[in-house]
Structure 1
Amino acid sequence: MRKALSLVALLVSGCGATVAQEPVAAQPVTVTNCGKPLTLSRPPARAVTNDIGITELMFALGLGDRMAGYVIDSGQTAGVESSPWKADFQRVPKLAEKINKEVVQAAAADLVFAGWSYGFSESEGFTPDSLGALGIATYQLTEACRNGVGKQRGIMPPLDALYTDLRNLGTLFGVSDRAEKLVREYTEAIASVAPDGRTPKVFLYDDGKDQPFTAARNAGPNQIIAKAGGRNIFDDVDDSWTTVSWEAVVQRAPDVILINDYGGEVGTVADKEKFLRSHPGLRDVPAVKNSRFFALPYAALVEGPRNAGAIKAFAAYLRG
């Protein structure tokens, strides 16, 4: 894993966004969020975010001073430590480790930025509708928008979802120039990646012993893998993060296994690699036989401003 760790260092370079505020328009603005219009009468001043990637989107746009706080669990501590926006995480209040209505009401939130399986949950009674009944606006992470088939998520390619959210947030907060600058930077960085022409098959391993949890077509890793020069073995599954079977993994015979590194929350990278090596059904899979494992941090694999760096790091590994 030494090679993997050295390449992951590419993801943690950079600096937090500390910029002068642009003039903010007072008139109502409307964007399309998860296929529906979202209108705000004024730019939010007390936004609350849930999860590290969502929070880093706000910081990348220089919107820390428009936040009442953020919610992340203790398992994301390592992600905060490696974040280019670590200083912003220190300045903006951490409100809790689990988001709920009481947390956002106590923070006097005027906007909650979260997503399905990124905070929103019917079973927890924490949904856009329940918050709307309290007079709190919500913005949903586009990568996690439901597509109308049960609880399946994903309505556009993951990078398009990233750019859509940046532009929508730019409109809602009156910082469209910053949003367009970030979109240009990310698209140029990704365009500069030069795969070597091979297309290794890649399995994203998130977690799961009885059944693996992985990334399908609409999750961030699908395009991270593709733009780096690989092919996600589950790119034919019309969902975001989802559960599959070990039999399907074996049948699709990945050449590389990309491990989602939670920083210890659900086992270390070493623990996950050890499990994969010891799984009887995986012994003859090319990735295991040839010791082709690579790890990227959770914050780089979910939708967020570290995605471009993740593509560059994984492409460098695949070329090597």
Structure 2
Amino acid sequence: MPHLVRPVALALVTALALTGCGAEVTSQEGKKDDRAADGHYPVTVENCGEKKTYDKAPQRVVTNDVGITEIMFALGLEDHMAGYVMPDDKGDMTSVPWKDGYQKVEWLSKERINKELVLDARADLVFAGWNYGFNEGEGFTPAELRRVGIDSYLLSESCRNGRGKARGVMAPLDALYTDLRNLGRIFDVEDRAEGLITSFRKQVAEAQAKAPTGPDRPRVFLYDDGQDKPLTSGAYAGPHDIITKAGGDHIMKDLKDTWTTVGWETVVARDPEVIVINNYGDTSAERKREFLTSYEPLANVSAVKNDRIVVLDYADLVESPRNPAAISSLAADLRKLSS
């Protein structure tokens, strides 16, 4: 079968209409005081098991990484942002329906987010996640921010589940929908959030209706990076729902974590028929592919023997509003590979 490198189809007409233009957001913002008086605030949401109450909408949010930033953009919340932090290796930012957000909001840094940066930005809330910016080893945690008067919201994909630092407490798309709903309440844009969720659910359902089913589902392995040991996705990271709802059988579905390493012997034993490469970072997708196809232990793996390798971008595979389009794209690839 041919090697497929396909850009995700992101022309989401409904989502684009929902994200709207700056004028619509301004119009909603103009109602804030009236709605607060009518009882919208305070609002309480549950975020990674913690109840959080907001007396008003945060006004200077700093986000970390592309998926988190685009959740804010998809909700039309650019006017509530002080800026975003992300490396410049996260793919094309110009084809998403909410691309204008990248022009409206300041790119604060291409390096790691840290306390000094968010203090300089006068942030009142940091939207990040465990291993998506928050990290005890670097002293950048919600608790540390709380000590300097800055609130935080954790990406639901990154919630720790009580087993050490293992992450994941809900299915990946449920994590996306949970964050959209929570942020919809926090910023008083609940209608917008529900509209996005409805359009995303419809897009996923349409992809599932055409996807391979039953015993014909191809076994799929997600390859992020790594040569000694591969970094891959467990049951709680975005690729699990992307693979399964696209009609694939995710071979690492028994890993109760988000992004984690496994041994190559496990990959060989489970014999994936399709490999999905996560395209980002210093190692290009083509170089990753070259490694996979030349690494001797994988020589007899079905996906390598039959050249069934698909590429998706990083922003498609982490929790983000690109996930439903990634499902549609991968479903189309799997249909071709199965024909």
**Does the TM-score normalized on the shorter chain lie above 0.5?**
yes
**Within 1, Cα distance between the matches of 2:159 and 2:255?**
16
After TM superposition, give the deviation of residue 210 of structure 1 in Å: 0.5
Residue correspondences, number = 316
Q: What runs of 5+ residues in structure 2 fail to find an aligned partner?
A: none
| 1:17-32 matches, cutoff 5 A | 17-19=20-22, 20-21=24-25, 22=28, 23-24=31-32, 25-26=35-36, 27-32=41-46
1:11 paired with 2:25, answer no
1:288 to 300, 304, 312: 304
Q: Is the 8 A contact 2:219 2:248 kept in 1?
A: yes
After superposition, the C-alpha distances for 1:207-252 in whole angstroms (9 at most, x for unaligned) are 0011000000000000000000001110001000001111110011
**Which residue of the partner structure matches residue 81 of structure 2?**
67
What's the counterpart of residue 45 of structure 1? Answer: 59
> Paired residue for 2:137?
123
- Check 1:196–1:267 CA distance in 2 against 1; reply closer, same or farther (3 A cut): same
TM value normalised by structure 2: 0.90
Amino-acid identity (%): 52
* C-alpha distance in structure 1 between counterparts of 2:229 and 2:128, whole Å: 27
Aligned to 1:154: 168
Please tell me whether the aligned partners of residues 8 and 325 of structure 2 are also in contact (alpha carbons under 8 angstroms). Answer: no
Q: 1:84 corresponds to which letter in structure 2?
A: P
- Distance in 2 (alpha carbons) for counterparts of 1:217 and 1:9: 22
Contact 2:8 2:312 in 1 (8 A): no
Q: Indicate yes or no: 2:212 matched with 1:196.
A: yes
| Structural mapping, 1:131-150, within 5 Å | 131-150=145-164
Amino acid at match of 1:187: R
| Matches of 2:283 and 2:21, distance apart in 1 | 34
Tell whether the 8 Å contact from 1:17 to 1:59 is kept in structure 2 after alignment.
no
Q: Secondary structure at 1:155's aligned position in 2? A: coil
Q: Is the 8 A contact 1:143 1:153 kept in 2?
A: yes
Q: Secondary structure at the match of 1:104?
A: helix
AA at the equivalent of 1:18: C
1:58 maps to 72
How do residues 161-240 of structure 1 correspond to structure 2 at under 5 angstroms? 161-193=175-207, 194-197=210-213, 198-240=216-258
From 70, 73, 83, the equivalent of 2:96 is 83
Distance 2:57 2:10 in 1: 31
The equivalent of 1:314 in structure 2 is 330
Counterparts of 1:47 and 1:315, CA distance in 2: 35
Correspondence for 1:298 among 314, 317, 337: 314
Structure 1's unaligned 5+ residue stretches are none
- Among 86, 89, 93, which residue is 2:106 paired with? 93
Q: Which amino acid aligns with 1:286?
A: S
The residue type equivalent to 1:4 in the other structure is: L
| 1:237-248 equivalences in 2 (<5 Å) | 237-248=255-266
TM-score normalized with structure 1 length: 0.95
Structure 1 residues 106-149: Cα deviation after superposition (integer angstroms, max 9, x where no partner): 11111100000100000111000000111111000001000000
SS at match of 1:287: helix
Determine the C-alpha separation between the residues in 2 that align with 1:296 and 1:223: 14
Residue type matched to 1:258 in 2? V
Contact 1:79 1:298 in 2 (8 A): no
Alignment counterpart, residue 126 of structure 2, candidates 108, 112, 132:
112
